[in-house]
Amino acid sequence: MNESYLNFRTDMADERVDTYKQVHNLSDIDGIKVESKDKDGINTTIVDVVNENGKQALGKELGKYITIEKYDMEYLDEEQKQLVIKELADNINLLVNGISKVNIENETNENNKSVLVVGLGNGSVTPDALGPKVISYINITRHIIKYADNLIEPGTREISGISPGVLGTTGIETSEIIASVIDKVKPEMLIVIDSLASKSISRIGKTIQLSNTGITPGAGVNNKRSALDEKTLGIPVIAVGVPTVVDMATITNEAIDKLIESIKNEVTNYTNNNIGEEKINNIFEFFEKDERYNMIANALDSENYIVTPKEIDNVIAKISEIIASSINVALA
């Protein structure tokens, strides 16, 4: 198998790690460090891409990718929700503090960097409305500091926010809008929120990914726009994303994987003839070829169809509040 097998669309770094290991039959990947922990039913995985080998393997920039996963995120009670908010806020702070140590010359200002929070996406399309929805919950302070500083505590961090829309409705590249705002407002750090694509329907609305490498809007659904990162914008960028869609060919591939695994288990249970088992496994190899994605997409005639669950409106409403609360806590 070659790297084309990795074409199954996903923005999730941990999924790319799992797929690469599976395809190449590896237990570890050169240039990739992975740490996981499970606390209070919240699974947190940190993927560090540390060299060019890791970058090439995952198709991800050098940096840190953190995924926080909690089953039924949209149905959490208040106590569980606060635990998720705390875990998310702690990891946002981990990235913010890491950026501060590298970029700030004046240590007295380390915890008071001005921040622009950007909600990417189309607020009129529910699966793509995460970014704009989060912005509506962010504690914006720049205008108060600028025009009524007597109403706010001294030392309050300057936070501004924007939902720039999408190219199809504004006619302007999102990166151009953000660059213009940065030039005028002059924030020292950017936090960008966007909807992502996953390779598994089970992760939609249940996983939040953070990274200190910026983001390429639309990459997971084959609609790449200009990258939003420190190289293009001139300031550090932290990305926050949630998978809200899966493309149909990827869902079909996942179903075939599960079917093959189930049949293999049956073969192992009921076949004692090694020759017969080998012949059956040879049949399975046909379905494991690296061309499978294109085969499935062509068969379904659905390469551009994107799938989202029927309860996505509830997912977006709940998880946008969780993300906004965690950003508010982290930047307080």
Where do the domains of the chain lie? 3-241+309-331, 250-300
Tell me the per-residue pLDDT of 273-313, one tens digit each, with 9 for 90 and over. 555 556 666 655 655 555 566 666 665 665 567 788 888 99
Task: Determine the pLDDT at residue 284.
Answer: 57
**DSSP state letter for 326:** H
Tokens 């500091």 correspond to what residue? 145
Q: CATH homologous superfamily of domain 3-241+309-331? A: HybD-like (3.40.50.1450)
How far is the first Cα of the chain from the last one, in angstroms, to the nearest whole number? 48
% the chain with pLDDT above 70: 77
Instruction: Output the CA angle 77-79-81, nearest 5 degrees.
Output: 65
Burial grade of 230 (CB within 10 A; 0-12, 13-18, 19 or more): middle
For residues 167 and 26, what is the distance between their CA atoms, to the nearest angstrom? 41
Three-state DSSP at 162 gives strand
Q: What is the rounded distance in angstroms from the CA atom of residue 318 to the CA atom of residue 76?
A: 9
4 pLDDT band, cuts 50/70/90, is very low
Residue entry with tokens 């990891």 = 91
Q: What is the pLDDT of residue 35?
A: 96
User: Residues 193, 131: contact at Cβ < 8 Å?
Assistant: yes
- Per the model's pLDDT, the better-predicted residue between 257 and 4 turns out to be 257
Confidence of residue 19 (pLDDT cuts 50, 70, 90): confident
Residue located via tokens 């996942």? 254
Name the packing angle between helices 248-270 and 274-287 (round to 10°). Answer: 180
Cα 269 to Cα 264, 266, 272, 273: the distances in Å are 9, 5, 8, 11
| 283 Cβ contact partners less than 8 Å away, ≥ 6 residues apart | none
Write out pLDDT tens, residues 116-149. Answer: 999 999 999 999 999 999 999 999 999 999 999 8
| pLDDT band of 192, cuts 50, 70, 90 | very high
CA 176 to chain centre: 22
pTM for the complete prediction? 0.82
Tokens of 188: 């020292």
Q: Which residues pair with 37 in a beta bridge?
A: 44
Q: How far apart are alpha carbons 174 and 217 in whole angstroms?
A: 9
DSSP string over 226-284: --BSHHHHSS-EEEEEEEEEEEHHHHHHHHHHHHHHHHHHHHHHH---HHHHHHHHHHH
Q: Which of 55-64, 69-78, 316-325 has the lowest mean pLDDT?
A: 69-78
Residue reference for tokens 């606390």? 39
